[in-house]
C-alpha cells in the first residue's frame, strides 16, 4: 500500500508511545471506526488498518498514505469506538512529525492549507479570509476556482478587504516561536 | 445573566449573521455579553493538525483573560468552543503548560446551544415567543464539532443530541426526525478537497429534502457556510436546483421573539430563506 516516492526515512516519524500507545493497544479490530468514517470510500488505508499498523509500530505506511490527510477530524470513529480510541488523536502526533520533518506527502494541499491558515494567524492574530484564500490559491495555482462565490460573499460583507490587527500580536508571535512553526 | 463572549473569526466574517443574531437574541432574553477584549484566533481546525503546542497555546491567552474577568465564556462557534475546551483540559492536565499559562479552570466554556438551552433561558425563550414558527418544518443539524470529541465537548448525547431540538420546539417549529443530525458535511476540506465536500454535503441536503424539511437549522458556522455556499455547485453537478435554506437557530429565535429586522440576516445567506419564511407568514 506504500506509494513510491512517499517513503519515510527510518527514525523520522516515531510510533505512538506512552498513554496513547496503551489506549490504541486495546483495539480488537471490530472495524466500527471504518464503518462510520465519512471518507472511508476515498481512503487507501482504512481507519482500523491505521490503528493496527500503529499498534505494530509500523507508521511508515500511514505517513505514506492519502488517508492521514483525508481524515476530516470529524471524530465519528472516536465517538463510536468501544475502546475509546480516537483515530484523529492517533494521527495528530504523526502529522506533527511529518510536517516538522518536511516529509513529502500525498494530498499535499491539505497540509499546505493548514500551514497557510496558521501563517495568517501569525501575521494578524486572527484569520483574514482574503489573505488566507489569496495565499492558498497562489501556492496551489487555483486562482479561478470559486471566483464567483468569493465575489458574492464579498458583496454580502462576509469577506473583509483589510485585516483586523490584534493588539496582542506580539504575544501571538511569541506563541509561534515556541512551536514547530518558529 | 452575564457571560464573557468569544465570537471568533468566522463570526466577524462568513458568519456575521450568527454574531448579529446571537447578540440580538441574547439581549432580548436578558443576557449581557461582554466581548473578550481584542481576542485572538483559537487555531480552528488547523493548529491541532500541525503542532501540539499551538493547539493549546493559541486559545490560552483568551482563556486566561476570561478567567481574570471571572465570568463563564460563551463561544457560539462550534469550532471555537471545542478548541477552547480542549485547550483548557490540556492546560489543566499538563504542568508545563500550566506553568506558562496559569489557567485554573475556575470558569466554564459554554457552547451557544448550551447557553440557550440553560433552564432559565430556555423558559424565557418559550415565554417571550410572540411569533410561534407554526408550519415551519425543520431538521436540526448539529454537525461534528457540536458533539465531538464527546469527552471534550460533553454533549447531552454524541449520537442523538437534543438541545437544538428543544430550542426549536420552544419557538413552535415542527422538528422533524432525521438520521443526519451529527453527520459530517466535510467543512474542514471546503477549499482543499471541494469534490469530497460536495458529495458529503449533497447527502445531507438530499436527506433533508427526503424528510420534507423547509430548512436545515444549525449553530456551526462551518456547516452553515459549507451547506449554503455549495448548493450552486451541487445543483450544477446534480442537474437539479437545490434551494434549501441553512439557517442559524438564533436567526429563528429572532423571528419568534419579534421586533427585529431579521431579513437583514437572511439576506446574507446564498440561499436566503426569506421567501420561504415570508410564504409562511413568519417574516
User: Among residues A80, A79, A53, A55, which one has the least CA distance to residue A67?
Assistant: A53
Neighbouring CB atoms inside 10 A of A96's CB total 21
Measured between CB atoms, which of B51, B192, B229 is closest to A109? B192
Interface test mutation site (partner B, options A23, A90, A114, A176, max chain B beta carbons within 10 A): A114
d(CA B65, CA B186): 32
- For chain A, list the domains and their CATH numbers: 18-100 (1.10.1060.10), 109-177 (no CATH)
Measured between CB atoms, which of B46, B150, B188 is closest to A79? B150
CB of A38 within 8 Å of a chain B CB? The answer is yes
Q: Which residue shows C-alpha cell 496513547?
A: A20
Specify whether the CB–CB gap between B140 and B169 falls below 8 A: no
Q: What is the pLDDT of residue A135?
A: 93
- The helix/strand/coil state of B228 is helix
Which CATH topology does B129-279 take? Rossmann fold (3.40.50)
CB contact under 8 A, B48 and A152: no
Q: What is the pLDDT along chain B (283 residues), one digit of tens a residue?
A: 999 999 999 999 999 999 999 999 999 999 999 999 999 999 999 999 999 999 999 999 999 999 999 999 999 999 999 999 999 999 999 999 999 999 999 999 999 999 999 999 999 999 999 999 999 999 999 999 999 999 999 999 999 999 999 999 999 999 999 999 999 999 999 999 999 999 999 999 999 999 999 999 999 999 999 999 999 999 999 999 999 999 999 999 999 999 999 999 999 999 999 999 999 999 9
Window 111-170 of A: residues touching B by CB (8 A cutoff) are 111-115, 117-118, 121, 125-127, 129, 133, 136, 145-146, 148-149, 152-153, 156-160, 164, 166-168
Measured between CB atoms, which of B43, B47, B184 is closest to A38? B184
Domain edges within chain B: 2-113, 129-279
Domain B2-113, CATH among 3.40.50.2300, 3.30.420.10, 3.30.870.10, 1.20.1050.140 = 1.20.1050.140
| Backbone region of residue A73 per phi and psi (left: phi > 0; alpha: psi in -120 to 50; beta: other values) | left
Measured between CB atoms, which of B50, B148, B193 is closest to A96? B50
Amino acid at each position: 500500500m506504500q506509494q513510491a516516492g512517499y517513503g519515510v526515512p527510518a527514525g523520522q516519524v516515531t510510533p505512538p508511545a506512552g498513554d496513547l500507545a496503551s489506549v490504541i493497544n486495546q483495539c480488537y479490530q471490530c472495524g466500527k471506526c471504518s464503518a462510520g468514517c465519512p471518507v472511508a470510500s476515498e481512503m487507501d488505508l482504512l481507519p482500523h488498518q491505521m490503528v493496527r499498523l500503529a499498534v505494530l509500530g509500523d507508521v511508515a505506511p500511514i505517513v505514506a498514505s492519502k488517508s492521514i490527510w483525508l481524515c476530516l477530524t470529524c471524530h465519528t470513529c472516536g465517538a463510536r469506538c468501544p475502546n475509546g480510541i480516537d483515530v484523529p488523536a492517533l494521527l495528530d502526533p504523526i502529522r506533527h512529525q511529518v510536517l516538522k520533518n518536511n516529509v513529502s506527502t500525498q494530498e499535499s494541499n491539505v497540509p499546505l492549507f493548514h500551514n497557510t491558515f496558521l501563517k495568517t494567524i501569525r501575521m494578524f492574530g486572527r484569520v483574514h479570509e482574503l489573505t488566507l484564500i489569496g495565499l492558498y490559491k497562489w501556492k496551489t495555482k487555483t486562482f479561478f476556482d470559486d471566483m464567483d462565490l468569493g465575489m458574492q460573499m464579498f458583496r454580502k460583507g462576509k469577506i473583509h478587504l483589510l485585516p483586523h490587527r490584534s493588539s496582542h500580536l506580539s504575544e501571538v508571535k511569541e506563541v509561534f516561536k515556541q512551536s514547530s512553526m518558529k | 445573566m452575564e457571560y464573557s463572549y468569544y465570537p471568533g473569526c468566522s463570526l466577524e466574517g462568513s458568519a456575521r449573521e450568527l454574531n448579529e443574531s446571537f447578540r440580538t437574541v441574547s439581549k432580548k432574553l436578558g443576557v449581557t455579553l461582554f466581548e473578550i477584549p481584542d481576542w485572538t484566533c483559537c487555531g480552528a481546525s488547523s493548529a491541532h493538525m500541525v503542532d501540539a503546542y499551538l493547539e493549546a497555546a493559541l486559545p490560552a491567552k483568551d482563556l486566561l483573560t476570561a478567567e481574570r474577568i471571572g465570568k463563564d465564556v460563551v463561544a457560539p462557534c462550534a469550532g471555537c468552543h471545542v478548541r477552547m475546551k480542549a485547550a483548557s483540559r490540556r492546560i489543566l492536565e499538563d504542568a508545563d503548560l500550566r506553568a506558562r499559562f496559569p489557567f485554573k479552570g475556575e470558569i466554564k466554556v459554554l457552547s451557544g446551544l448550551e447557553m440557550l438551552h440553560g433552564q432559565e433561558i430556555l423558559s424565557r425563550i418559550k415565554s417571550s415567543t410572540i411569533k410561534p414558527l407554526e408550519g415551519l418544518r425543520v431538521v436540526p443539524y448539529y454537525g461534528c464539532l457540536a458533539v465531538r470529541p464527546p469527552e471534550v465537548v460533553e454533549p447531552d448525547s454524541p449520537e442523538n443530541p437534543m438541545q437544538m431540538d428543544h430550542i426549536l420546539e420552544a419557538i413552535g417549529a415542527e422538528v422533524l426526525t432525521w438520521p443526519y443530525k451529527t453527520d459530517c458535511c466535510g467543512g474542514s476540506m471546503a477549499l482543499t478537497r471541494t469534490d469530497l465536500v460536495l458529495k458529503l454535503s449533497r447527502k445531507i441536503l438530499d436527506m433533508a429534502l427526503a424528510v420534507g424539511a423547509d430548512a436545515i437549522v444549525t449553530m456551526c458556522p462551518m456547516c452553515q457556510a459549507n451547506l449554503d455556499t455549495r448548493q450552486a455547485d451541487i445543483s450544477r453537478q446534480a442537474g437539479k436546483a437545490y434551494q434549501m435554506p441553512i439557517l442559524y437557530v438564533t436567526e429563528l429565535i429572532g423571528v419568534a421573539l419579534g421586533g427585529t429586522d431579521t431579513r437583514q440576516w437572511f439576506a446574507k445567506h446564498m440561499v436566503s430563506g426569506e421567501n420561504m419564511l415570508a410564504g409562511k407568514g413568519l417574516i
